[in-house]
Structure 1
Amino acid sequence: MEPKIIREGYLVKKGTLLNSWKAVWVVLSDDGLEFYKKKTDNTPKGMIPLNGAKLTNPCQDYSKRQLVFKISTLKNQDHFFQATHLEEREAWIKDIKRAISCLQGGRKFARKSTRKSIRLPDTVNLSELYVLMRDSDNGIKELKLEKEKKIYNHCFCGSTVVDWLVSEGKARNRPEGLMLATGLLNEGFLQPAGELSKSGAEGGTESVLLDQPEAFYYFADSGFFCEGYSSDEDSIMKEEFRGAIIKQGCLLKQGHRRKNWKVRKFILRDDPVYLHYYDPTRNEDDPLGSIHLRGCVVSAVEYVPDAKKYDVDGNLFEIITSDEVHYFLQAATPEERKDWIRAIQTVSKTGK
């Protein structure tokens, strides 16, 4: 029987021989992970067997890169992957873990377990905890905090995190709350903002969250930005970055000059409404470009002018800006294309 495909999409992968990171198309089946140079390729560049494999998440081998996880095979071969955002990494990790577990137990892969999960009293699901912290009503409030002539937007302090964990019954006392908060920081759910919190995170082999009102942090997928006098750590952000992040992920984008297609990470923000795109292989805060979406028209298309069919086929959509600049993009699946079109249409009407 052919292996069952569980998940597929773009991830950034470290080269096996060279220390280079490239965006690849990854297909997870119930017995292995295949990766392709392009989505349209018929032959994979490589295959990672999952039988007996070990998963390391988060992976701290490359401290300058966030959202990295490692798969180690039975033959002691390490493969490093990087996701573009937190939800994406968690979705891949969940399915890879279950695929490995099913292979070990001789069971078929199933997204939902038929058994009731048994949790030890000291076991905490940090992903679920993060979702609760982000709740708009009962979670941690994102504020505008000021320190040393700098304003930190969509931020909160370390003591607030510990306060919330204790008050919500997630921790019995402050030391236990600090331990949980540090775990959230180590896994990339929380990020340090400002020199004090960054010094705590970089002070040792493991990051440490500071239980102090002067130590600032932000959610990994928030609309955080700092403004004021810039330094190497905190740069002045433009007006177009003020909006909250509505959606993010990888898409194929056609170049304006050469008409070639490349994988780009896209971040959609509202108020003001911008779609920024980045090179997913680089850890850079500055985008390659931005698309102002106010008054734009976005629609699904079946073909792209100046594009060869074998290069891209299916799940295409077009954005036409108010000043009549055309952008052609390709999503991984029909459902993803619908989600992007719906999100862009919504913010283009409501944002400024």
Structure 2
Amino acid sequence: MAEAEALGNIVKEGWLQKRGEHIRNWRDRYFILFDNGDLVGFKTQPERNNYRDPLNKFTVRDCQIMAVDKPRPHTFTIRGLQWTTVIERNFSVDTDREREEWVAAIRFVWSTTDCESFAPKQEQEQEATSTSEVTYSACSAGRDAHL
């Protein structure tokens, strides 16, 4: 994974706090979102075009994204299918604006990847326990695996 061409063009990058999937504490990670749907995280900001040894790498294709204020303010959750298991990854930023930018960038990538050829976007809005809205976007409708 040394070359940027293998991953695609950068859509958004920056520092996020990611909640651990097993040890549930929050850690600062530098994430890069590529136009092919890959979201790649590093302990430190990598040098340009040197994306070796990421700590996290997963796709935002076929995902749901939710903007919430739980378990902490300015949080968003990416829910995706890994093999046959639904995995939720939680991220937090410092402001609502940052969260909106990340969510918009992920939705942009999600809408431009191959999932758009399978089914139209399905969005439901529900009121969260706080003042923010929770928005679900799933493009797995019409596929074998549903989230």
TM-score, normalised to structure 1, is 0.29
For residues 281 and 244 of structure 1, the distance between their equivalents in structure 2, rounded to whole angstroms, comes to 17
**Paired residue secondary structure (1:322):** strand
Distance 2:14 2:66 in 1: 18
Aligned partner letter, 2:33? L
Structure richer in helix, relative to its length:
1
Q: Residue 285 of structure 1 aligns to a residue in which SS?
A: coil
- Tell me how far apart the structure 2 counterparts of residues 322 and 238 of structure 1 sit (CA, whole Å): 26
For the 8 Å contact 1:241–1:269, the answer to whether it is kept is no
User: Which of residues 47, 58, 67 in structure 2 aligns to 1:291?
Assistant: 58
Equivalence map 1:196-235=2 (5 Å):
none
The structure 2 residue matched to 1:351, chosen from 113, 130, 136, is 113
The whole-number CA distance in structure 1 between the counterparts of 2:46 and 2:10 is 20
Unaligned runs of 5+ in 2: 115-147
What does residue range 170-249 of structure 1 map to in structure 2 within 5 Å? 237=2, 241-249=6-14
Q: How far 1:293 sits from its partner (Å)?
A: 1.1
Pick from 57, 69, 78 the counterpart of residue 319 of structure 1: 78
Q: 257, 261, 269: which is aligned to 2:34? A: 269
Q: CA deviation at 1:345?
A: 1.0
The SS at the match of 2:81 is coil
Q: TM-score, normalised by structure 2?
A: 0.65
Q: Secondary structure at the match of 1:321?
A: strand
CA distance in 2, matches of 1:254, 1:260: 6
Q: Distance in 1 between matches of 2:33 and 2:45?
A: 19
Shift of 1:242: 2.6
One-letter code aligned to 2:58: I
Q: Does 1:257 align with 2:22?
A: yes
Aligned to 1:263, the other structure's residue is in SS state strand
Bigger radius of gyration: 1
Report how far residue 237 of structure 1 moved. Answer: 4.1
Q: What SS does the corresponding residue of 1:303 show, helix, strand or coil? A: coil
Aligned residues: 108
Q: What SS is found at the alignment partner of 1:294?
A: coil
SS at match of 1:257: coil
Q: Which runs of 5+ in 1 are unaligned?
A: 1-235, 305-312
Corresponding residue of 1:301 = 68
- After the TM superposition, which residues 134-173 of structure 1 pair with which residues of structure 2 at under 5 Å, given as runs? none
Q: Which residue of 2 aligns with 1:5?
A: none
Distance 2:45 2:38 in 1: 21
- In structure 2, the partner of 1:338 is 100
Q: Aligned-residue CA RMSD in angstroms?
A: 2.3
- The percentage of counterpart residues that share the same residue type is 31
Equivalent residue of 1:348, what SS?
helix
Query: One-letter code of the match for 2:16?
Result: L
Cα deviation, residue 349, structure 1: 2.1
What is the deviation of 1:316? 0.6
